[in-house]
């Protein structure tokens, strides 16, 4: 049973978290999270995270040919 199932809260707003992502990646996207290794995001902030990192993911896909 993981932390999300146990009821982890979003590091940004405090709502119920739905995803766990590396804190370094979340900080690079412009969110302010604590000094933990993992960042927990609610549905709304995860959606915003995906929008902010879409361009980087596309460039990496082109660079490595996948």
Contact 16, 45 (CB under 8 A): no
pTM here is: 0.83
Q: HSE (CB half, 13 Å, CA atoms) of 40?
A: 16
For the stretch 8-45, pLDDT in tens is: 999 999 999 999 999 999 999 999 888 889 999 999 99
Q: Among residues of the chain, what percentage have pLDDT more than 70?
A: 98
Q: Say what the pLDDT of residue 24 is.
A: 92
Question: What Rg do the C-alpha atoms of the chain give, in angstroms?
Answer: 13
Q: Say what the pLDDT of residue 1 is.
A: 75
Check pLDDT > 80 for residue 66. no
Q: How many domains does the chain have?
A: 1
Contact 34, 8 (CB under 8 A): no
How far, in Å, are 33, 54, 59, 60, 61 from residue 13 at the CA level?
A: 10, 22, 30, 30, 31
- Domain that includes residue 17, residue range: 3-64
Q: Say what the pLDDT of residue 43 is.
A: 96
């Amino acid at each position: 049973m993981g932390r999300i199932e146990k009821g982890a809260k979003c590091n940004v707003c405090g709502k119920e978290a739905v995803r766990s992502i590396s804190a370094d990646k979340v900080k690079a996207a412009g969110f302010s999270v604590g000094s933990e290794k993992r960042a927990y995001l609610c549905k709304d902030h995860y959606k915003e995270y995906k929008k902010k990192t879409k361009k980087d993911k596309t460039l990496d896909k082109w660079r490595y040919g996948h």
